[in-house]
Amino acid sequence: MKCNVRDISINYKIIGEGKPIVMIHGYAADHRLMSACMETVFNINSNYKRIYIDLPGMGNSKGAEWLNCADIMLDVIIEFINKILPNENFLLVGQSYGGYISRGIVYKMAHRVDGLLLICPCIIADRKKRNIPEKIILVKNEELLSKVEESDVERFNSALVIQDENTFERYRDEVLSGIKKEDISFLRNYRKNGYSFSFDVDKLEKKFNKPMLMTLEKQDSGVGYKDAWDILGNFPRATFAVLDRAGHNLQIEQNEVFNCLVNEWLRRVEDDIKRKVD
């Protein structure tokens, strides 16, 4: 499906009916990163309208020269939400840089967000300022690496701390497939000129007092996990989980625990909405 925002055609996919959930993937990937891990959860919880978006310049969404900073990216995504879900509350899920954009949405329109899930969120946009652990691979599989295209070996090594056939296949199909569709020129310019918001996205007017889940990885050398602790005070109803044996793709490397945590978050959201209605 396509939604026109200004002169950008944004690609998105809707699955199911019910309470809307907007899913925002990380930098350079596409919506398949989100749909692959979240649809497993919704095999059980089917009463949700899942909205998977390709961010501009990624997947099947085109970029634009004027979209050159995070502030404008946030405005575009909010315009998209307002077109798809006019005056309707929704749940929000953001992964990595999508978690950064999601916090921007909370900053701008928290009153419409009934629950928030952040998966390995980017907390500090400037990589040089992040508190990240050293890169480590806990389970290395040279035999599998030998079967991977040479150009992809470094991507697998940087992305996975548990290297087995399942994690390789899922990373290839869910993450790498999207990265290979990125608009390199657009993303290079965007990252150079405006990867960070011009405002402090975590300086909220008031705390986000709704069910929240933040999943992080002990071996994530991309965004780390320690910086996330500093914003936990914004979320009085947060579950904060840091998992061992996971790099920047916890939804793949620790999928069973991930599914349990997300299901529990959904139960909290449902209870919260029901309580407010009653």
Per-residue pLDDT of the chain (278 residues; tens, 9 = 90+): 999 999 999 999 999 999 999 999 999 999 999 999 999 999 877 899 999 999 999 999 999 999 999 999 999 999 999 999 999 999 999 999 999 999 999 999 999 999 999 999 999 999 999 999 999 999 999 998 998 888 889 899 999 999 999 999 999 999 999 999 999 999 999 999 899 999 999 999 999 999 999 999 999 999 999 999 999 999 999 999 999 999 999 999 999 999 999 999 999 999 999 988 76
Q: List the domain boundaries for the chain.
A: 2-277
Nearest partner of 82 among 119, 116, 51, judged by Cα? 51
CATH superfamily of this structure's domain 2-277: Alpha/Beta hydrolase fold, catalytic domain (3.40.50.1820)
72 Cβ neighbours under 8 A, 6+ residues apart: 66, 194
Nearest partner of 106 among 211, 223, 249, 246, judged by Cα? 211
Q: Write out the H or E segment, with its range, that includes residue 243.
A: strand 238-243
Tell me the whole-structure pTM to 2 decimals.
0.97
Cα angle, residue 257 at apex, residues 15 and 49 outer, rounded to 5°: 15
First to last CA, the chain: 36
